[in-house]
Amino acid sequence: MDARIDYFGNALAGKVMKHLNSAGAAVHAAVPAATQELVKIRASQINGCGFCTDMHTKDAVAAGEDQQRLNLVAAWHEATVFTGAERAALALTEQGTRLADGAGGVSDEVWADASRYYDEDQLAALISLIAIINAYNRINVINRQPAGGYKPGMFG
Protein backbone atom coordinates (compact mmCIF):
# COMPACT_ATOMS: atom_id res chain seq x y z
CA MET A 1 0.00 0.00 0.00
CA ASP A 2 1.26 3.46 -0.87
CA ALA A 3 0.12 6.77 0.55
CA ARG A 4 -2.08 8.78 -1.79
CA ILE A 5 0.20 11.81 -1.49
CA ASP A 6 3.55 12.43 0.20
CA TYR A 7 1.86 14.14 3.12
CA PHE A 8 5.06 14.37 5.17
CA GLY A 9 6.89 15.98 2.26
CA ASN A 10 4.15 18.44 1.31
CA ALA A 11 4.76 22.06 2.37
CA LEU A 12 1.13 22.88 3.15
CA ALA A 13 0.69 19.62 5.07
CA GLY A 14 3.87 20.48 6.98
CA LYS A 15 2.28 23.71 8.18
CA VAL A 16 -0.80 21.84 9.36
CA MET A 17 1.32 19.21 11.14
CA LYS A 18 3.36 21.94 12.84
CA HIS A 19 0.19 23.35 14.40
CA LEU A 20 -1.13 19.92 15.41
CA ASN A 21 2.26 19.08 16.94
CA SER A 22 2.25 22.36 18.87
CA ALA A 23 -1.22 21.63 20.19
CA GLY A 24 -0.07 18.17 21.26
CA ALA A 25 2.93 19.64 23.05
CA ALA A 26 0.66 21.98 25.02
CA VAL A 27 -1.07 19.05 26.74
CA HIS A 28 2.06 16.97 27.27
CA ALA A 29 2.73 17.61 30.97
CA ALA A 30 -0.88 17.70 32.17
CA VAL A 31 -1.63 13.95 31.99
CA PRO A 32 0.73 11.02 32.67
CA ALA A 33 2.64 9.93 29.56
CA ALA A 34 1.39 6.34 29.84
CA THR A 35 -2.22 7.54 29.87
CA GLN A 36 -1.58 9.74 26.84
CA GLU A 37 -0.24 6.78 24.86
CA LEU A 38 -3.18 4.59 25.89
CA VAL A 39 -5.58 7.32 24.71
CA LYS A 40 -3.74 7.67 21.39
CA ILE A 41 -3.64 3.92 20.84
CA ARG A 42 -7.33 3.38 21.63
CA ALA A 43 -8.55 6.21 19.40
CA SER A 44 -6.28 4.99 16.61
CA GLN A 45 -7.64 1.45 16.95
CA ILE A 46 -11.23 2.69 16.79
CA ASN A 47 -10.49 4.84 13.74
CA GLY A 48 -8.59 2.05 11.96
CA CYS A 49 -5.42 4.14 11.75
CA GLY A 50 -2.63 1.62 11.36
CA PHE A 51 0.02 4.31 11.08
CA CYS A 52 -0.88 5.90 14.44
CA THR A 53 -1.45 2.54 16.15
CA ASP A 54 2.03 1.47 15.01
CA MET A 55 3.57 4.77 16.13
CA HIS A 56 2.00 4.96 19.57
CA THR A 57 2.48 1.31 20.51
CA LYS A 58 6.17 1.61 19.57
CA ASP A 59 6.50 4.92 21.44
CA ALA A 60 4.86 3.31 24.49
CA VAL A 61 7.26 0.36 24.40
CA ALA A 62 10.22 2.73 24.03
CA ALA A 63 8.97 4.62 27.10
CA GLY A 64 8.86 1.37 29.10
CA GLU A 65 5.18 0.43 28.82
CA ASP A 66 4.34 -3.19 29.61
CA GLN A 67 3.59 -5.31 26.55
CA GLN A 68 0.65 -7.05 28.24
CA ARG A 69 -1.08 -3.71 28.80
CA LEU A 70 -0.56 -2.75 25.16
CA ASN A 71 -1.96 -6.10 24.04
CA LEU A 72 -5.09 -5.43 26.09
CA VAL A 73 -5.88 -1.83 25.10
CA ALA A 74 -8.57 -2.90 22.63
CA ALA A 75 -10.15 -5.08 25.35
CA TRP A 76 -9.65 -2.66 28.23
CA HIS A 77 -13.25 -3.15 29.46
CA GLU A 78 -12.41 -6.72 30.49
CA ALA A 79 -8.74 -6.20 31.42
CA THR A 80 -7.58 -5.81 35.01
CA VAL A 81 -4.22 -4.21 34.17
CA PHE A 82 -5.43 -0.61 33.94
CA THR A 83 -5.91 1.81 36.82
CA GLY A 84 -9.22 3.50 37.52
CA ALA A 85 -7.87 6.74 36.09
CA GLU A 86 -6.67 5.01 32.92
CA ARG A 87 -10.02 3.28 32.52
CA ALA A 88 -11.82 6.62 32.89
CA ALA A 89 -9.53 8.15 30.23
CA LEU A 90 -10.13 5.19 27.90
CA ALA A 91 -13.91 5.47 28.34
CA LEU A 92 -13.73 9.19 27.59
CA THR A 93 -11.58 8.41 24.54
CA GLU A 94 -14.03 5.85 23.20
CA GLN A 95 -17.08 8.06 23.56
CA GLY A 96 -15.19 11.15 22.37
CA THR A 97 -13.98 9.28 19.29
CA ARG A 98 -17.31 7.62 18.50
CA LEU A 99 -19.40 10.79 18.56
CA ALA A 100 -21.55 9.71 15.63
CA ASP A 101 -22.36 6.38 17.32
CA GLY A 102 -24.08 7.82 20.39
CA ALA A 103 -26.71 10.45 20.80
CA GLY A 104 -25.42 13.25 22.97
CA GLY A 105 -21.71 12.44 22.62
CA VAL A 106 -19.97 11.73 25.92
CA SER A 107 -22.36 10.51 28.60
CA ASP A 108 -22.69 12.21 31.97
CA GLU A 109 -21.61 8.95 33.62
CA VAL A 110 -18.33 8.77 31.66
CA TRP A 111 -17.68 12.47 32.30
CA ALA A 112 -18.36 12.09 36.03
CA ASP A 113 -15.99 9.14 36.25
CA ALA A 114 -13.22 11.06 34.46
CA SER A 115 -13.85 14.03 36.77
CA ARG A 116 -13.22 11.81 39.78
CA TYR A 117 -9.64 11.22 38.63
CA TYR A 118 -8.68 14.37 36.74
CA ASP A 119 -8.82 18.06 37.61
CA GLU A 120 -10.07 20.70 35.18
CA ASP A 121 -6.70 21.26 33.49
CA GLN A 122 -6.22 17.53 33.07
CA LEU A 123 -9.72 17.17 31.64
CA ALA A 124 -8.97 19.99 29.21
CA ALA A 125 -5.78 18.15 28.26
CA LEU A 126 -7.65 14.87 27.73
CA ILE A 127 -10.33 16.52 25.62
CA SER A 128 -7.63 18.20 23.54
CA LEU A 129 -5.56 15.03 23.23
CA ILE A 130 -8.59 13.05 22.03
CA ALA A 131 -9.38 15.74 19.45
CA ILE A 132 -5.76 15.92 18.26
CA ILE A 133 -5.28 12.16 17.84
CA ASN A 134 -8.58 11.96 15.99
CA ALA A 135 -7.30 14.66 13.60
CA TYR A 136 -4.05 12.73 13.04
CA ASN A 137 -6.05 9.52 12.51
CA ARG A 138 -8.23 11.15 9.90
CA ILE A 139 -5.26 12.58 8.01
CA ASN A 140 -3.53 9.21 7.89
CA VAL A 141 -6.63 7.13 7.10
CA ILE A 142 -7.77 9.49 4.31
CA ASN A 143 -4.25 9.48 2.88
CA ARG A 144 -3.87 5.70 3.33
CA GLN A 145 -0.59 6.24 5.15
CA PRO A 146 1.09 2.81 5.38
CA ALA A 147 1.83 1.35 8.81
CA GLY A 148 4.83 -0.57 10.05
CA GLY A 149 7.79 1.63 9.25
CA TYR A 150 7.70 3.97 12.22
CA LYS A 151 10.75 4.15 14.47
CA PRO A 152 10.44 5.88 17.88
CA GLY A 153 11.68 9.45 17.70
CA MET A 154 11.79 9.64 13.92
CA PHE A 155 9.67 12.79 13.91
CA GLY A 156 11.78 14.59 16.51
Smallest Cα–Cα separation from 34: which of 71, 2, 66, 72? Answer: 66
User: Cα separations (Å) of 59 from 4, 48, 156?
Assistant: 25, 18, 12
Tens digits of residue pLDDT in 75-131: 999 999 999 999 999 999 999 999 988 778 999 999 999 999 999 999 999 999 999
Tens digits of residue pLDDT in 55-83: 999 999 999 999 999 999 999 999 999 99
- What's the confidence (pLDDT) of residue 153? 86
List, as one string, the DSSP characters of 20-41: HHHHHHHTTTTS-HHHHHHHHH
For the segment(s) 31-143, the CATH number from 2.60.40.420, 1.20.1290.10, 3.40.50.1100, 3.30.70.20 is 1.20.1290.10
| % of the chain surpassing 90 pLDDT | 92
Cα atoms found within 13 Å of the Cα of residue 118, Cβ hemisphere only? 27
Question: What is the average per-residue pLDDT within 13-19?
Answer: 95
Could you tell me how far CA 2 lies from the centroid of its own chain? 23
| CA angle at 99 for the pair 122 and 124, rounded to the nearest 5° | 15
Smallest Cα–Cα separation from 52: which of 125, 128, 143, 122? Answer: 143
Mean pLDDT of the chain: 95
- What's the confidence (pLDDT) of residue 75? 98
Is the pLDDT assigned to residue 156 strictly greater than 80? Answer: no
User: Cα separations (Å) of 125 from 4, 41, 92?
Assistant: 32, 16, 12
Sorted by sequence, the CB contacts under 8 Å of residue 102 that are 6+ apart come out as 95
